Amino acid sequence: MKLLAAAAAALGLALAAPAAAEAPAIDATRLGAEIRDAAQAHFGLWDPARRASFAAAWVRYRGAAARMGARDAVDLEAIRLVASLRNAHTWIDDPNFAETRRWRLPFVLRAVDGGWVVTESRSREIPTGALLRAIDGLPPERFFAAHRDLVFASSNAQARTLLETMIRRVDGDARPPRLEFDDGRELMPGASGDAFPPRVAFHWLVPDRIAYIAVPSFEGETFEHDALTALKHFIDADAIVVDVRGNDGGRTPVDFLELLTDRTLPWWKESTNARVPARAPVADQQIPPADGHYRGRVVVLADERCASACEDFVMPLVYGGRARLVGTRTYGSTGQPFVARLDGGITLAVASIHAALPDGKPFEGIGIPPTDPAPLRLADVRAGVDAQLDRALAVAEVVPGMRAR
């Protein structure tokens, strides 16, 4: 299931055309009422803490509505109001807000060993392994604490994966952020071209025995199609490592699951307390194996960025006893949002369905724990060593005791 239906803009990742003229104003009072009414009708994950958080945020929003002024200020307060529901599938997106924040970082920032570390750098100035020391003069932890209310996340662990999103919401193009790193280097990012588009990659880890398939996304149809092509190519392999690190979801890859499993797999235990949910909860759904399915061993390699449809992929395999899970705990968000189109081109999504693990244990904001933990370490990042993949290969080499958790 899709983590963010209009996510590119909601996370500020879209690089639009040159900045347009100042966006027309929006009625803050009306927008707030629309958000409140949608939440009261369609949000399906209410608990006492969320009710208290949203009630407090609503009081703040209503008190500030008359003096918010410019559209950008209204957007920020609307983000805070929606984020108070503490759910990654509940979000608001104003494309005009993203238009004023076209800068992007030429690397990935990830929480590693108690700090934020540069990984996958495309920058000549800031190398992979650099440790972030300050954002606009503030230590990263202080910046995070001050602006935690600007990201849509069920937990602080989720929010830590969204630091760039948090920075973007604070710092627009008129005043890009100033980032300082441990080696004394500084960066003030600007608008840049997109990174190379992600693609499914596959090859042998051990010739003719252990295969590797990396699936960086399930967005659209292409990724699942290419993953199926790779799986069919390796259908006789002794073991396959499926790498979904960094995969933030898209469409649930049912066909890929059916070809990968040799047994019937469980599905989420769904429920809702919404007055008007986006759909009825699904009961007793299972995923059967396809004809000609893969019969070898399966190891899934995942991390804290594996979210939504990625977790729809991981959970049945792990809790159905079909795969071992190597890496770190996944993101912890899946569900079906109710989507509303509001005035001014604004889109609001409100999560309607609560998903628990097949045994009823909580999942949202917690994620799927690995059967074989392999945390990312700063020393490995700096050395260019993929210790997580090494661990996955070691697990794949041994016939595992596959059983449901």
Q: What is the pLDDT of residues 117-139, one digit of tens each?
A: 999 999 999 999 999 999 999 99
Q: What percent of the chain has pLDDT over 90?
A: 83
* Model pLDDT, residue 172: 85
Q: Which two tokens stand for residue 153?
A: 């996340």
Per-residue pLDDT of 148-173, as tens digits, reads 999 999 999 999 999 999 999 998 88
Torsions phi, psi of 202, nearest 5?
-150, 145
Is 304's pLDDT higher than 80? yes
SS3 string, 92-161, reads EECHHHHHCCCCCCCCEEEEECCEEEEECCCCCCCCCCCEEEEECCECHHHHHHHHHHHCCCCCHHHHHC
Stretch 186-206: mean pLDDT: 85
pLDDT of residue 344: 87
pLDDT of 332 strictly over 90? yes
Q: What is the pLDDT of residues 231-246, one digit of tens each?
A: 999 999 999 999 999 9
How much is the pLDDT for 4?
A: 38
pTM for the structure as a whole: 0.90
Token pair 């005791």 is found at: 401
Q: What is the pLDDT of residue 173?
A: 83
Q: Give residue 17's pLDDT.
A: 36
- Token pair recorded at residue 329: 């705990």
Worst-scoring range by mean pLDDT, 78-87, 97-106, 115-124, 184-193? 184-193
Domains of the chain: 108-187 (no CATH), 201-269+277-334+360-397 (3.90.226.10)
The residue with greater pLDDT, 23 or 290, is 290
